[in-house]
Structure 1
Amino acid sequence: MTYSKHFPDNCPPSESDIASGEFYRFIKKAHERPHQKDFISWRQEFSDKECPTGLSECQACGVSIYSSLDDAKNLSLRIPRFKNMKIAKALLSDGLGRIKHTPSRNGKSHHTWWIPEDSEPCKVFELIDANQEDSTKT
């Protein structure tokens, strides 16, 4: 897999896993379906800024996803910027990059996902009605 040239050396990290499993991602509410721009990393969005405290340059090159719908729902209730977003779900599989479990104070199921160049993650994710989804998975 080929990753963006802006990724630092050894990124994704060797201790990351092949992207696999069911995950959730926040999507801008204005969209009727996920768009490619919903999968832009912090580093792509803020190329001229230093990484926030506690975030490595490699992690800044990935995007946040959650393995628990309950975590995503709780974030949307507690954190203002997530209140105005929708939740999308995908089943990730081989060929969709690498992931690493990177729990945060805001979500124990948080993962960082490094998306290969020329991928179209917007075609894998679909918007869900979080209130209708089975949230028993962790």
Structure 2
Amino acid sequence: MSDGGNNGNWGDHYPVSCPPGSAKSKDVTPVYRLTLNNPPLDEDFYSHKEANLRYPPDKECEACAISVFTDLDQIKKAKKKIALFKNRGHIIEGQIVSETGVVSEPDHKSHINWWVYSGIDVKKYFKDNS
């Protein structure tokens, strides 16, 4: 039985009507992600919700997405501002492949929300930058 917006391709932790209808399936290359490990581990690709990190209550859908950037300079700026990554984080490069999920349009800082289908090994789409 469908829950209205969730088509069964998403994790059980996704709220109804998430991802938003404006999110599109497309290839995006390159994308950059902040990780704590290099080479990255599976947990480096957890969403805020999967990692039990705090997020604003009105941002639950965004908290189910994986954050990536399309501009290397913008992710370098984000790394300096986010305490968790400032001194021990890594920037890794990868790609979004349309078959892996859907994405938001990049914001003014090149940030993209990537809602990944259940069962996708996101790690394999990123390079080891060690």
Question: Shorter-chain-normalised TM-score: which range?
Answer: 0.7 to 0.9
Residue in 2 that maps onto 1:134:
none
Decide whether the 8 Å contact of 2:10 with 2:117 is kept in 1.
Answer: yes
Q: Measure how far apart 1:32 and its partner are.
A: 3.3
RMSD: 2.2
- Structure 2 residue identity aligned to 1:114: W
Residue in 2 that maps onto 1:27:
35
Rounded Cα–Cα distance in structure 1 between residues aligned with 2:51 and 2:95: 25
Decide whether the 8 Å contact of 1:19 with 1:113 is kept in 2.
Answer: no
TM, length-normalised to structure 1? 0.76
Q: Measure how far apart 1:60 and its partner are.
A: 0.9
Does residue 79 of structure 2 align to residue 76 of structure 1? yes
Decide whether the 8 Å contact of 1:44 with 1:61 is kept in 2.
Answer: yes
Rounded Cα–Cα distance in structure 1 between residues aligned with 2:56 and 2:11: 20
Q: Measure how far apart 1:102 and its partner are.
A: 5.7
**Structure 1 gaps, min length 5:** 130-138
**Structure 2 gaps, min length 5:** 1-7
- Specify the SS of the correspondent of 1:3: coil
Rounded Cα–Cα distance in structure 2 between residues aligned with 1:32 and 1:38: 9
Residue in 2 that maps onto 1:135:
none
Runs of 4+, deviation exceeding 4 Å? none
Does residue 14 of structure 2 align to residue 11 of structure 1? no
Residue in 2 that maps onto 1:110:
111
Residue-by-residue CA offset, 1:65-102 (whole Å, 9 max, x unaligned): 10101101122233332222111111211211111136
